[in-house]
Chains A and B, each alone.
Chain A
Amino acid sequence: MRKKFEAGDKMKIRWPWQKKHATLNESALENLLAATLQPVEPRADFVKDLRTQLVGPEERSFLGLPRRSLQNGVLVAGAAFSVLLLLATSVRVVVSVLGAVGLLHQFNRGMKEQAAPSPKVAI
Chain B
Amino acid sequence: MAGLLSVTLPSKGNMLHNLKDEEVLVLAAQGDQEAFGVLYDRYIGRIYNYIYYRTSNQHDAEDLTARVFFRAMKHIESYEDRGVPFSAWLYRIAHNLVANWHRDNSRRQVVPLEDGYRQAGESIHPEAALVQLEEQDNLLNLITGLPEDRQQLLILKFVERLSNAEIGEIMGRTEGAVKSLYHRTLTQLRDEFMFQLDEDADGTVPEQE
Contacts and interface: CB of A to CB of B under 8 A. Distances in A.
A12 B131 CA distance: 12
Interface string B113-157: 000011001000001100110011001100100000000001100
Interface SS majority for chain B: helix
A75 to B, nearest CB: 7
Contact count band on B: 35 or more
9 contacts: A24-B193, A36-B118, A36-B136, A36-B143, A40-B48, A42-B61, A51-B41, A73-B8, A80-B4
Interface in A26-49: 26, 29-30, 32-43, 46-47
Interface in B15-70: 33-34, 36-37, 40-41, 44-45, 48-49, 52-53, 58, 61-62, 65-66, 69-70
B44 A24 contact: no
A3 B205 contact: yes
Interface stretch (B86-94, B167-175, B195-203): B195-203
B84 interface: no
A1 B203 contact: no
Contact of B40 (A36, A40, A55): A55
B70 A54 contact: yes
A15 B131 contact: yes
Contact of A47 (B1, B44, B121, B160): B44
Contacts of B69: 50, 54
Given A51-B40, A55-B37, 12 more contacts: A2-B202, A22-B194, A30-B186, A33-B189, A37-B158, A38-B117, A39-B161, A40-B49, A50-B40, A51-B41, A72-B11, A80-B4
Interface of B: 1, 4-5, 7-9, 11-13, 33-34, 36-37, 40-41, 44-45, 48-49, 52-53, 58, 61-62, 65-66, 69-70, 73, 117-118, 121, 127-128, 131-132, 135-136, 139-140, 143, 154-155, 158-161, 186, 189-190, 193-194, 197-198, 200-207
